Each structure stands twice: as structure tokens, then as C-alpha cells.
Chain A
Amino acid sequence: MNEILQVENLRVEYPGGRLRQPAKIALHGLNLQVTQGEVFGFLGPNGAGKTTTMNVLLGFIPPTSGSAALFGIDVRQPIARQRIGYLPELTYYYKFLTAEELLRFYAKLFGLSRAETDLRIKKLMALVELEHAASRPIKSYSKGMRQRVGLAQALINNPDLLILDEPTSGLDPLGRMKVREIIQRLKDEGKTVFFSSHEMGEVETVCDHVAILHQGELKAAGVVADLVTQYRADNLEQVFLKIVGYQPQEVA
């Protein structure tokens, strides 16, 4: 198996602050592997440690201990991000640039040639259906259009691994469908997708494997169908609720 993303005993602590509060442990020795061609769903309630894991993978925060690697390269090395694409949950880009200029800028960071850049921009603008607005400043875009620019920038380098943080959050049903289609297309092309989401239905539809995180610990990981069987549930949502210990309360 070709492991594209590997996390071993990853521990992240946030300092306690000025009043000698104890350090907050965001991740307790997390272990995770994602292999090539998988669509991997990363699940967990708010505060479970999903975003912290992604922040470590992208080099935004250093791990307290343990290791994380992309394509076998330590995530602290910038080159580890050469073959990845990243779509943040909230998409904010340089408002004074046009979509085309933004993509050209990111292409330069990946070291793409001018010809290759032109080709990729043309293709991606068509994919996200923004050809008509490519030369307009991003500040004039609607929220949905910005999300689509975000998707285009995440794909500018034709990445082998796509990291998506809540990719459908804030999108209308049509937008969600579009994102799902793109994920499916990438899967068909043999790309690896690692994404976090709260949408269980969406995860169940597109993911091969999932990992469920709770209070900084990995509670379950595996193929969706196996987990449903293992937890004697009807669907992934029930598995998730069982893991996080949710007890339904009767409404008086």
C-alpha cells in the first residue's frame, strides 16, 4: 500500500495562557494513514481535533510530539506541500486580485511554467464555471463564486492529494452537488482526497474510508460499511452519535 498521508503518535498541546492554566491537549497521540486513491472522510464533533490535525498537516502549527508526513516528507518541510491542494473552510483571497491573477500567483508558488499555468487556468475556470468572471476582482464575487475560486486554486497544481476543510459548508444544494461531482472525478482520476465534514450523508456517499475523532483521540477508523456493521447501526450518522456518546432526550 502506498501511504500518502501518515500521522504517528501526533500530540498537540496549546499553551495554557498567562494565569498558569494547564495546557490544553488538542490531540492525544493520533495515528492515521491515508493511502493513494482513497477518499478519506475525517469526522468528529466541534473541538474534536480535526482542524488541529489539518493545521499540523499543512504546517500551520508545529506538533508538540509525534510526526506527520505527506508523501513520506515531514510536513515541516515546505516541499511536502508540493503535491497537495488545500481548500480552507472559509475562503478568503486577495480581494484586489482577479481570479486569474490569483491562480497565476499560486501557480508561480508551485513553480509551474507559463504554458502549463495558462492551460490549467483555462481548464479550472471551465471546471468551476467562472470563465465569464476570470478577469473581475475577487471582491466583486458572491460567496458561492469565492468558494469555487477556492476550489480552483486548490487544484491549480493538479495535486495528488487534496485536503478539503468542510468543503460544502455554506454552499447551496447545487454547489454541494458540484463539489461532490468534482471529488468523484478526482477519485476516478486516482487522486487522493482527505476531507473533514459534518455532513454524514455526504461522507457516506463519497468516502471509501472514514476516521472519527473525539476529544483529540481517534475513536474509530475504517471502511464506512464495516463501521456501520461493527457498531450495529443503520448508517454512518448513528455510528458517529454512538461514538460521541449522544443520548437522545424525550421532548416533554
Chain B
Amino acid sequence: MSRIWAVATVVIKELYRRKDFYVLFVLTALLTLGALSVNFFDDPKIIRYVKDICLLLIWLSTLIIAIVTTARQIPAEKEDRTIFPLLAKPVSRGQVIAGKFLGCWLASGLALLVFYIFFVAVTGLREPHLMWGAYLKSMFLHWMMLAMVVGLTLLGSVIFTAVSANVTICLIAIFGILVVGEHLAKIAVRQAEPVRTITYTLFYCLPHLELFDVRAQVVNNQPLPGWLDCGLASLYAAAYTGVLLYAAWLLFRRRSLST
């Protein structure tokens, strides 16, 4: 475990020493504060559109951070040749994959925490009663979703040599799932065979990332799912992440790496 943790800490250091996170945070803050400064009918109580915009930006930013940070892990290690001194140590390839996952997931989680603190601060400016429990659940579910995103992107980083190819494919796949994932069953009903079966198979096999999107509840001050449901969703995320990491390890463990 200490070896996995050692690999993870390097990934976390990489995130906060690169400038991407800061740029995305400033971007989110600027856009949110810009939205907040707009005067709508001189009503200072209007806040939901700001919450909506801020959460949307947080979703986009954290997805970009998670995907870009993860996608470059294995390809950059190969390109910079840092993989060789690393694998020359008593560390297995499975531990490298696990460490990379843990580092990317924790790094994304840290970024998520900073973004949510900003969100709560902005919301607190206009909403007298903050829904702490709802924010906590929303952040937790978001983080669980990022585990699947990191797992998927890490698998991509083992498959694709170029970082840009991996980032593009992962972004398309992840946004595709987020937009149409939960509607695939309804789309399938309207299709003829064999498209129908294929669409149904996709519906049941794809990781439903959109499940973890509870922004509507947070924005509109509606009750969030209970902790039991959140726990079940976490198990769902853990199962998918496990499968994705196992696939990444299967591909990486026998891969030839010539100096």
C-alpha cells in the first residue's frame, strides 16, 4: 500500500504544481462572479441561476481536470521516459496503475473540494439557509462519479499512445454518457433490430455517470437521495471503477516497454 500511496502523492504534487487547476478555478470564479454581478429587475434575492452556472462550471472544470490529469499519466511517463526508473524499482505494474488511479482520484477530489468551498461561499451571499447536508451529498456523489471517469481515462491512457487522442475520446465518451446515457432504453424502444439490442446492451453496460448528477436538487433546494441510495450508487461506482482498473492492469502488465 505504501508504494501505491507513494505513486499517488507524485500525481497529486503534479496537479498542484501545474497551472491548469488554477486557471480553471479562476475561470469558474470569474464566470460565476460575472453572472452574480448582473442586475435582474433589482432583485437581490435571485440566486438559483448563479448556483446553476457555478455548478455547471464546477462539473466541466472537474471533468477536464480529471480527464486531462489522468490521460497524460501513462503516455507522459513513457514520453518523458520516467517510466523506466519507476519500473526499475520493486513496484509492480498493478501498483503503478493503482497508484496512478488513487493519485488522480484524490487530486480531482481536492480540486472538487476547493470548487465546492467557492460554491458554498457564493451561495451564502444570497441564501440565508445553506443546505450543508445537500452540498456534502452532492460533492460525495460527484467524487464517486469522478472515480469512474478516472478509471475510464486511465484505461484509455494505457490503450492510446497520444495524450490528445485519449483526452478527445474520453471527453466525447463521457459527455455522450452524461447527455444520453439514461435515455438509451427509451431510444432503444424506437429502434428496429439489431440496433435495438445494441442500444439496450449499451444502456445496461455503460457506466451511468449521469446518475451522480444531482445539481437540479441543489440548485432548486429539493431533497437529495438518502444516504442508503448514495451508498448503493457508491457501490455501483466502485464496481465499474474496479472493472476499468482491472482491464487497464490486464493491458499494462504484459506491455513491452523498450528503453
Which residues from chain A sit less than 8 Å from chain B, CB to CB? 14, 51-52, 54-55, 58-62, 78-82, 84, 86, 88-90, 92-97, 101, 105-106, 108-111, 150, 153, 163, 165
- Asked if B85 is an interface residue, CB under 8 A from chain A, the answer is yes
Alpha-carbon gap, A81 to B91, bound state (A): 8
Interface membership of chain B positions 1-15, coded 1 if the CB is closer than 8 angstroms to chain A and 0 otherwise:
011011101100110
- Asked if B82 is an interface residue, CB under 8 A from chain A, the answer is yes
- Max chain A CB contacts within 10 Å: which of B9, B10, B87, B89? B89
Whether B85 and A88, one on each chain, are in contact in the complex, defined by CB atoms closer than 8 angstroms, is: yes
Tell me the nearest residue of chain A to B16, going by C-beta.
A96
- Asked if B92 is an interface residue, CB under 8 A from chain A, the answer is yes
Given A55-B258, A60-B258, A92-B80, residue A78 in contact with residue B88 (CB < 8 A): no
- Shortest beta-carbon distance from B73 to chain A in Å: 12
Partner of B87, one of A60, A93, A97, A111: A60
Partner of B3, one of A80, A88, A90, A108: A108
Given A81-B90, A96-B17, A97-B10, residue A60 in contact with residue B257 (CB < 8 A): yes
Partner of B259, one of A51, A95, A96, A153: A51
Query: Cβ of B5: which chain A residues have Cβ within 8 Å of it?
Result: 108
- Max chain A CB contacts within 10 Å: which of B7, B14, B88, B256? B88
Alpha-carbon gap, A189 to B9, bound state (A): 34
Query: Cβ of B84: which chain A residues have Cβ within 8 Å of it?
Result: 58, 60, 86, 88
Whether B2 and A110, one on each chain, are in contact in the complex, defined by CB atoms closer than 8 angstroms, is: no
Alpha-carbon gap, A172 to B6, bound state (A): 34
Query: Cβ of A92: which chain B residues have Cβ within 8 Å of it?
Result: 80-82
Whether A55 and B13, one on each chain, are in contact in the complex, defined by CB atoms closer than 8 angstroms, is: no
Given A78-B90, A84-B88, A109-B91, residue A94 in contact with residue B259 (CB < 8 A): no
Alpha-carbon gap, A165 to B95, bound state (A): 25
- Shortest beta-carbon distance from B66 to chain A in Å: 19
Alpha-carbon gap, A226 to B63, bound state (A): 64
Whether B256 and A110, one on each chain, are in contact in the complex, defined by CB atoms closer than 8 angstroms, is: no
- Pick 24 A–B contacts, CB within 8 A, sort by A: A58-B88, A59-B88, A60-B256, A62-B254, A82-B90, A86-B84, A86-B85, A86-B88, A89-B259, A90-B81, A92-B82, A93-B82, A94-B10, A94-B80, A96-B14, A96-B18, A97-B10, A105-B10, A108-B2, A108-B3, A109-B89, A109-B90, A109-B91, A110-B89
- Shortest beta-carbon distance from A94 to chain B in Å: 6
- Shortest beta-carbon distance from A12 to chain B in Å: 9
9 tightest A-B CB contacts, nearest first: A108-B6, A86-B88, A109-B89, A92-B81, A61-B256, A96-B17, A82-B90, A60-B257, A78-B92
Interface of A is mostly: mixed
Partner of B13, one of A54, A58, A97, A153: A97
Alpha-carbon gap, A108 to B9, bound state (A): 11
Q: A109-B89, A110-B89 are in contact. List 4 more A-B contacts (CB 8 A).
A: A51-B258, A84-B88, A105-B10, A106-B89
Query: Cβ of B90: which chain A residues have Cβ within 8 Å of it?
Result: 78-82, 109-111
Alpha-carbon gap, A96 to B95, bound state (A): 22
Alpha-carbon gap, A79 to B91, bound state (A): 8
- Shortest beta-carbon distance from A58 to chain B in Å: 5
Alpha-carbon gap, A165 to B258, bound state (A): 13
Alpha-carbon gap, A232 to B238, bound state (A): 68
Alpha-carbon gap, A58 to B14, bound state (A): 26
Given A88-B85, A93-B85, residue A54 in contact with residue B80 (CB < 8 A): no
Query: Cβ of B91: which chain A residues have Cβ within 8 Å of it?
Result: 78, 109
Given A62-B256, A81-B90, A111-B2, residue A106 in contact with residue B81 (CB < 8 A): no
Partner of A165, one of B9, B87, B254, B259: B259
Whether B82 and A94, one on each chain, are in contact in the complex, defined by CB atoms closer than 8 angstroms, is: yes
- Max chain B CB contacts within 10 Å: which of A52, A84, A88? A88
- Shortest beta-carbon distance from A205 to chain B in Å: 25
Tell me the nearest residue of chain A to B99, going by C-beta.
A109
Alpha-carbon gap, A149 to B6, bound state (A): 19
Query: Cβ of A61: which chain B residues have Cβ within 8 Å of it?
Result: 256-258
Whether B254 and A59, one on each chain, are in contact in the complex, defined by CB atoms closer than 8 angstroms, is: no
Tell me the nearest residue of chain A to B14, going by C-beta.
A96
Alpha-carbon gap, A60 to B82, bound state (A): 13
